[in-house]
Amino acid sequence: MVKLSSKAITLLLIAVVTFSCDPQQDLSPRRKSLDELTDMVLSSKKFNEIEVNINELQTSHSHFTSPTEEALVVPFKGRDGEKFVMAIFDEKQRIRKVFSFEAVTTITPQQVLDKMLNEQFDGTLKFGDRSGSFQVDLQESKIVSKVTIKNQLAREAEPECGDWTADDGPLGCAGARIEQMNWLEKTACYVVFMECLAMEVASCIIDDCVVNPVPAS
């Protein structure tokens, strides 16, 4: 049996007390990794509700949209930057929303921002969530038509918050939020503009649902 000296016991007790009383120690749950969150999203009910074939996704290319890790993107194979599934998380890394996004245009994702800012963008933006799909057609960066297709579940349910068909709707809200960003935030947004736009659209829907929740039936 190993005997500890009184000095060793004293040092051990000091170390234990110091650790237990240290206000800086982190007792919060471990943050999930990118791979863990990707798996969590793709196996979730919210992902299954948007009716995307997981085999079409390039799961090895999933990534966070910003250092805050509040949103994750999984691109479709061969469509990086222009077609992807996005998941948005709360502060505890719980899934708030999952949706698909696609930009249909003849230019590259890197050219979209310049065309948008110079009022020269022609193309279609498509969004899909659990309620169905929404697409907006633009000419010279102006909306010329909008189409909403609700799935059977949504048609049978009560109207949801974050109405796609509103005059300005989430897309107008997203544009206003990007415009109000400071130069640093806007620069970061412009680097991955399609992802930034999609995230702001989803955030507008989420925030609208907080402010104007659907009454319980």
Q: For the segment 136-177, what is each residue's pLDDT rounded down to a tens digit?
A: 898 998 888 888 777 665 555 555 555 554 555 677 788 888
Residue 170 placed within a domain: yes
Residue 195 placed within a domain: yes
Residue 14 placed within a domain: no
Residue with more model confidence, 6 or 184: 184
> Which of the four pLDDT bands, split at 50, 70 and 90, describes residue 5?
low
Q: Each residue of 174-188: b (16+ CB within 10 Å) or e? A: bbebbeeeeeeeeee
Work out the average pLDDT over 21-35: 69
Residue 15 placed within a domain: no
pTM of the full structure:
0.74
The total number of residues shown for the chain amounts to 217
Is the pLDDT reported for residue 120 higher than 50? yes
Provide the pLDDT for residue 16.
Answer: 44
CA atoms lying within 13 Å on the CB side of residue 35: 1
Residue 90 placed within a domain: yes
Is the pLDDT reported for residue 78 higher than 80? yes
Residue 16 placed within a domain: no
Provide the pLDDT for residue 160.
Answer: 55
Residue 39 placed within a domain: yes
Work out the average pLDDT over 61-88: 90
The count of other CB atoms within 10 Å of the CB of residue 52 is 19
Residue 150 placed within a domain: yes
Q: Which domain holds residue 113?
A: 29-211
Is the pLDDT reported for residue 2 higher than 80? no
Residue with more model confidence, 216 or 195: 195
Counted domains in the chain: 1
